[in-house]
Amino acid sequence: MKYFDYFSFDTLGETLEFLKKQKHFVKIISGGTDLIIEFRKNSPKLENIDKVLDISRLRVLKVIEEDNDYVYIGPSCTHTEIVKNDIINKYFPALVEACLSIGCLQTRNQGTIGGNIVNSSPSADTVPALVSYNAELELLKDENIERIFKVKDFIKGPYKNELAKDEMLYCIRIPKDNTEDRLHVFEKLGRRNALSITRISVCANALLEDGKIKKITIVPGAVLPRFKNMKIAEDFLTGKKPQKEVLREASELVAKEVFDEVGERWSTPYKKPVLEKMAFVALCKMFKIEII
Ligand SMILES: Cc1cc2nc3c(=O)[nH]c(=O)nc-3n(C[C@H](O)[C@H](O)[C@H](O)COP(=O)(O)OP(=O)(O)OC[C@H]3O[C@@H](n4cnc5c(N)ncnc54)[C@H](O)[C@@H]3O)c2cc1C
């Protein structure tokens, strides 16, 4: 394993100042659950890195708070802290379910939401939930220079994102946007029940009005190089009553939209029907419709 110089500061200002000076040769570490594996593998991704910057001591990155419009989540909040937080449970239960599905308790106690986003794996479990809630990221270069991205635009492809070398993820903010009145679901299929990396997931939330779907978002995980809304199925469902046959048709549209984009692969005969079934199960669960 390669050795690195280790740095950690008491304040955000000192951390950003250090980051700015070092530019290409420093890697931020938060919980380390993704990064330590990369270190151990001598990953080529870390070839030019000779310093690690530990941000886990910065309290300002561990805050969860709300105002009238948004809920703000510090990137160093662990999955366990999110699962236990009352504000997140109130507005974003699908994010709670996503965090709860991650690895084992030890991984959830150590791994952070910021690390999950910045690692940008196609199977990152928090990301479909964040995209379904239209979450945004605040990136900081220094205390006055901020860039804001929607999560769906931030991740450019597998393990690729918009973060610059001298930038850090400072905050995840999610619009409240009637989420309190919505129905929510996160459904995940792993290789095994515990410690599994997601093969396929489906996250959705919906707002009903007079028994009809007023607004719905559906975001699959681990099936596309980038995370996105299933616009065709969402448009199809909007204005309709959530009945079983309608949900079945919408699930077919989800699978079609995904596989029209990724094309035919060796895994398609397995993944396509499974995604379709998972989308159906997720939608039925969300609208509390008996599946059989
Ligand atoms: C046994 C095991 C099981 C797992 N199961 C799952 C699972 O089921 N689902 C899932 O989604 N993931 C899973 N993971 C992956 C991992 O736990 C998550 O991705 C975790 O959320 C990463 O957070 P971290 O704080 O450990 O990140 P780190 O390893 O510290 O960092 C990951 C990346 O994020 C960057 N980074 C972190 N914070 C910031 C910041 N504030 N600003 C800029 N860059 C930052 C780092 O530089 C690095 O590139 C598993 C991992 C293990 C070891």
Q: For the domain bounded by 59-175, which CATH number is listed?
A: 3.30.465.10
Q: Are strands 145-150 and 155-157 parallel, antiparallel or unpaired?
A: unpaired
Q: Which atom of ligand 1 is nearest to the CA of 35?
A: 29
Q: 16: Cβ below 6 Å to ligand 1?
A: no
- State the Cα angle at 124 between 235 and 143, rounded to 5°: 95
Q: What's the distance, CA 243 to chain centroid?
A: 29
Distance 110 CA to ligand 1 centre (A): 9
pLDDT at position 50 is: 87
Contact call for residues 111 and 139 (beta carbons, < 8 A):
no
Q: Whose CA is nearest to atom 50 of ligand 1?
A: 103
**Rg of the chain over CA atoms, in angstroms?**
19
**What pTM does this model have?**
0.96
Query: To 10 degrees, the CA torsion angle through 220, 224, 229, 233?
Result: -70
Distance 123 CA to ligand 1 centre (A): 11
Distance 257 CA to ligand 1 centre (A): 29
- State the Cα angle at 71 between 160 and 111, rounded to 5°: 45
pLDDT in tens, 132-144: 999 999 999 988 8
* Average pLDDT for runs of 10 along the chain of length 292: 90 94 86 94 86 96 98 98 98 98 96 98 96 98 90 97 95 94 93 62 97 98 96 98 98 97 88 95 97 82
pLDDT at position 22 is: 84
pLDDT at position 265 is: 86
With respect to CATH, is domain 182-286 assigned 3.30.390.50?
Answer: yes
pLDDT at position 201 is: 96
Contact call for residues 39 and 14 (beta carbons, < 8 A):
no
pLDDT at position 195 is: 56
In 3D space, the residue among 84, 82, 91, 143 whose CA is nearest the CA of residue 117 turns out to be 82
3-state secondary structure string across 152-186: HHHEEECCEECCCCCCEEEEEEEECCCHHHCEEEE
Q: Whose CA is nearest to atom 32 of ligand 1?
A: 115
85-94: long-range contacts, CB 8 A cutoff, minimum separation 24 = 88/64, 90/180, 91/66, 91/174, 91/176, 91/179, 91/180, 92/129, 92/133, 92/174, 92/179, 92/184, 93/184, 94/129, 94/132, 94/133, 94/184, 94/185, 94/186, 94/203, 94/204, 94/205
